[in-house]
Structure 1
Amino acid sequence: MPEVPIKIYEGDKYVKVIDLFKSHFDNHIDIGASVSVIHKDKVIFEVSGGYKDFESKDPYTKDTLQAIFSSSKVVTSIVVAWLVDQGYLDYDAPVSKYWPEFSQGGKDKVLLKDVMRHDAGLAWVDPPLEYDEIIDPEKLYNRLAQQAHVFDGEDKRSYHAFTQGFILNGIAQRVDPKKRTIGTILKEEITDKLGAEFYYGIRDEEVLKKNSVWYQYPKTTWKPNNDEIDVDPAVAQANFLSIFPLLGKAVNLPLYKNTKLSPANHPDFHLIEIPAGNGHSTATSLAKIVSQAISENSILSEKTRKSLFEEATTKRDHALKSEKTLTKAGFNVFEYPDANLTVIGGSGAGGSYVVIHPELEFVFAYVTNANQLTPPGFGRGLDLLKVFYEEFKQNSN
């Protein structure tokens, strides 16, 4: 097999990061990926490598679009912050102020910041949503409004895998003067102005050509004769969900009709706007959008930028069965004591990862097309961040 293509666009002095990035392909744990770091509005590191399509050996470049799953939530938090900045929303206001029907079923006291922090009590809908309800906004919003608080009004945190985005879309369309969805607001108010690309599902055929194939089995993709074997993600997921039953309820949505295909490769995955889960972007575009949280040239006011990091609360997440810390704007606080490192942002199923280091004023983004089963905030992206963090400090001295 020919040497795996690696392209360094910026930051060749970050030798250790580049070496680690290359090793992921040598060890067959990545197939195609990009890393980008923005510091004070400037791209200081950008690298891509591997394959967008392993079969055709089409290289993965900085312009390759990638499904990032729940890392989409970080971008959605920026859109909600824009709505707050415009005076259309208030994190401390009840959702029913903007959406009166939402108050049904004991949800009258649910605040916007509860939705952002997965404290809204609407992590799933019972009975589960049908496909025709998900693709019909009116039906979807009616089901969400009618659903009773799943914890009978108790203050409990439970990961809203998909419903968070659906709720926020319902709110956005009610408060925005143009009745726009999260995705349309993002395009018209943020990405078009930044020269960035981000899509909650790609419905343009030409744009879709830039999208990467998703690989559930990276090692067996590299070695089809099975001298390297992955843990079967289907088996691993079944075992995982048997341990985390509430998470199973949260992700139990028919987002596509043919479940034999990997979700990111399924055409139906692009038909629905899911602000909590079907974002597609490049590493640099993702970093550009999230950098609005700290940029002095941000589309957001200084007051709103500061609020993004405020009121971080730590609670046991009943779906994930672990302590989770989130700000009122929906940003995860990730603490890594072994590296003396704290960052704020989010991660997605499979491995995508985008975080902010507020003190050092950088945003780190990693996107990948090779599945990796790790807890939120861990995996290849974190490994790369830790090495970058050390080299960044050395280069800054």
Structure 2
Amino acid sequence: MSEHVPQVHGHCDARFTAVRAAFEENFRERDELGAAVTVTVDGVTVADLWGGWADAAHTRPWERDTLVNVWSTTKGPVALCAHVLADRGLLDLDAPVAVYWPEFAAAGKEKVLVRHLLSHRAGLAGLREPHSLEQLYDWELTVARLAAMEPWWEPGTRSGYHALTYGFLVGEVVRRVSGLLPGAFLEREVTGPLGVDFTVGLPEKEAGRAAELVHPPVASASEQAAIFSQLAPVALAALTNPVAGAAEANSPQWRAAEIPAANGHGTARAVAALYGIFAGRGSFGGRRVLSVEAAERMREGQGSCRDLVLGAGFAHDTEVALGLWLSGPNGSYGPNPRAFGHDGFGGSCGLADPEAGVSLGYVMNRMGPHIADDPRKTALIEALYSAL
């Protein structure tokens, strides 16, 4: 192994050596800096690997318990919070959001359903008025603005990726029903009892374990202008109002905030466990979190379409279920079209395949330019399925 390819630590069952090979190849061929991958089969960990560096300067090795911001991979656990409440009969996914959040009925949204929030069909992909990062850190202000705004399109008819607003929309319903913000609810009901190393935001006492995110290659000003000129106003609102990248996510302010669509922090082991609940049809590690029926409902497709925000980045239609994306014919989460999962900006992902009994968590700190289907993630998933 060359001096430029860091040593990979952890364990990997002999059957899954292809996963280890792909993980090592990510460092050798795909410019990985620091990363970890965990695979479970029927709730048993069969691969748990980590390596590389937790910082750009190569001064801190990536350790077994290194945490990193996983961006939108957080959306799966946040959706889980809503499904736990629905499973207990406390939340009706087919009820208008305004039943739980009366202010939300403003501006013609009285018929928007809870399922529309979960499936990116609420028409609220981004705020219409300028919204700074400091304002994003203000939960009350952000949810008040969302409650007051007019949808970008007729809710329920199409999906449009709610990149940052998703966590506030689903999270405020969780708060109205349970009395807890989604991070606290997740800790009380799921990660605490299961011993899963994952939080929404990052407690200050854990900052020493956090990896430094590193920016993807930056396009030139002219290239950026060309990209933005092709985006519809709704896509600009969803992806750039406000702009958040590696520098922002490394800040104490970002880590201290509750941004349930984008600032979950965890290990690959934690992501594999949380998505393992979905793969285990509601159960993981001998603990039942959701009924089998509720777990199945999470991957109930809400209609395939060209996404109104991300459509320009895909050569195909996609389908969002009730909180997660279906693998579909394009195979984003492996060859089973009913496997499902979620990617995080820059590369991370969580995958669940109930038919195979498989979950995968992949986390890293050198962000690629992709919102979804990063080549490093794709290589790991291909390796996993080659071993099954």
Match for residue 280 of structure 1? Answer: 265
Give the direction of change, closer, same or farther, for the CA distance of 1:375–1:334 in structure 2 (3 Å limit).
farther
Partner of 2:362: helix, strand, or coil?
A: strand
> Is the 2:343–2:371 contact (alpha carbons within 8 Å) kept by the matching residues of 1?
no
User: C-alpha separation between the residues in 2 aligned to 1:27 and 1:34?
Assistant: 16
Q: Deviations 1:264-317 (Å, cap 9, x if unpaired)?
A: 222221122111111111011111112112324421112211211224421221
Give the direction of change, closer, same or farther, for the CA distance of 1:171–1:340 in structure 2 (3 Å limit).
closer
Partner of 1:275: helix, strand, or coil?
A: coil
Give the direction of change, closer, same or farther, for the CA distance of 1:386–1:262 in structure 2 (3 Å limit).
same
User: C-alpha separation between the residues in 1 aligned to 2:45 and 2:238?
Assistant: 36
AA of the residue aligned to 2:288:
S
Give the direction of change, closer, same or farther, for the CA distance of 1:375–1:16 in structure 2 (3 Å limit).
same
Match for residue 290 of structure 2? Answer: 300
Give the direction of change, closer, same or farther, for the CA distance of 1:377–1:68 in structure 2 (3 Å limit).
same
Give the direction of change, closer, same or farther, for the CA distance of 1:47–1:103 in structure 2 (3 Å limit).
same
Match for residue 158 of structure 2? Answer: 156
User: C-alpha separation between the residues in 1 aligned to 2:87 and 2:30?
Assistant: 44
Residues 188-197 or 334-343, more deviating: 334-343
Match for residue 40 of structure 1? Answer: 42
Match for residue 320 of structure 2? Answer: 326
Query: What TM-score results when the alignment is normalised by the length of structure 2?
Result: 0.89
Give the direction of change, closer, same or farther, for the CA distance of 1:270–1:231 in structure 2 (3 Å limit).
closer
Give the direction of change, closer, same or farther, for the CA distance of 1:282–1:172 in structure 2 (3 Å limit).
same
AA of the residue aligned to 1:117:
S
User: C-alpha separation between the residues in 2 aligned to 1:234 and 1:79?
Assistant: 40
> Is the 1:312–1:325 contact (alpha carbons within 8 Å) kept by the matching residues of 2?
yes
AA of the residue aligned to 1:90:
D
The Cα shift of 1:337 comes to 5.5
Residues 100-109 or 294-303, more deviating: 294-303
Residues 294-303 or 231-240, more deviating: 231-240
Q: Deviations 1:232-268 (Å, cap 9, x if unpaired)?
A: 4887665443333332211233477xx8x62322222
Gaps of 5+ in 1: 218-229
Identity over aligned pairs, percent: 27
Give the direction of change, closer, same or farther, for the CA distance of 1:80–1:12 in structure 2 (3 Å limit).
same
The Cα shift of 1:11 comes to 2.2
Matched length: 373
Please list, as runs of the form range in 1=range in 2, the aligned pairs for 1:107-146 lying within 5 A after superposition: 107-146=109-148
Which of 365, 372, 392 is the equivalent residue of 2:368?
372
Give the direction of change, closer, same or farther, for the CA distance of 1:212–1:62 in structure 2 (3 Å limit).
same
AA of the residue aligned to 1:331:
L
> Is the 1:199–1:280 contact (alpha carbons within 8 Å) kept by the matching residues of 2?
yes
Please list, as runs of the form range in 1=range in 2, the aligned pairs for 1:1-397 lying within 5 A after superposition: 1=3, 4-27=6-29, 29-151=31-153, 155-176=157-178, 179-204=179-204, 206-217=205-216, 230=217, 232=219, 239-245=226-232, 246-254=234-242, 262-295=247-280, 296=283, 297-321=287-311, 322=314, 323-327=317-321, 329-335=322-328, 340-342=335-337, 343-374=339-370, 376-391=372-387, 393=388
Residues 377-386 or 125-134, more deviating: 125-134
> Is the 1:255–1:268 contact (alpha carbons within 8 Å) kept by the matching residues of 2?
no
User: C-alpha separation between the residues in 2 aligned to 1:380 and 1:173?
Assistant: 36
Partner of 2:51: helix, strand, or coil?
A: strand
Match for residue 227 of structure 1? Answer: none
User: C-alpha separation between the residues in 1 aligned to 2:13 and 2:236?
Assistant: 41
Query: What TM-score results when the alignment is normalised by the length of structure 1?
Result: 0.87
Residues 65-74 or 305-314, more deviating: 305-314
Give the direction of change, closer, same or farther, for the CA distance of 1:211–1:238 in structure 2 (3 Å limit).
farther
> Is the 1:345–1:355 contact (alpha carbons within 8 Å) kept by the matching residues of 2?
yes
The Cα shift of 1:163 comes to 0.8
> Is the 2:70–2:344 contact (alpha carbons within 8 Å) kept by the matching residues of 1?
yes
Residues 291-300 or 231-240, more deviating: 231-240
Computed over aligned residues only, the root mean square deviation of the Cα atoms, in angstroms, reads 2.3
> Is the 1:24–1:30 contact (alpha carbons within 8 Å) kept by the matching residues of 2?
yes
User: C-alpha separation between the residues in 1 aligned to 2:330 and 2:239?
Assistant: 30
> Is the 2:5–2:27 contact (alpha carbons within 8 Å) kept by the matching residues of 1?
no
Q: Deviations 1:146-200 (Å, cap 9, x if unpaired)?
A: 1112225572321111111111121111111xx1000000111100111111122
AA of the residue aligned to 1:243:
Q
> Is the 2:121–2:155 contact (alpha carbons within 8 Å) kept by the matching residues of 1?
no
Give the direction of change, closer, same or farther, for the CA distance of 1:389–1:236 in structure 2 (3 Å limit).
farther
AA of the residue aligned to 2:228:
L
Gaps of 5+ in 2: none
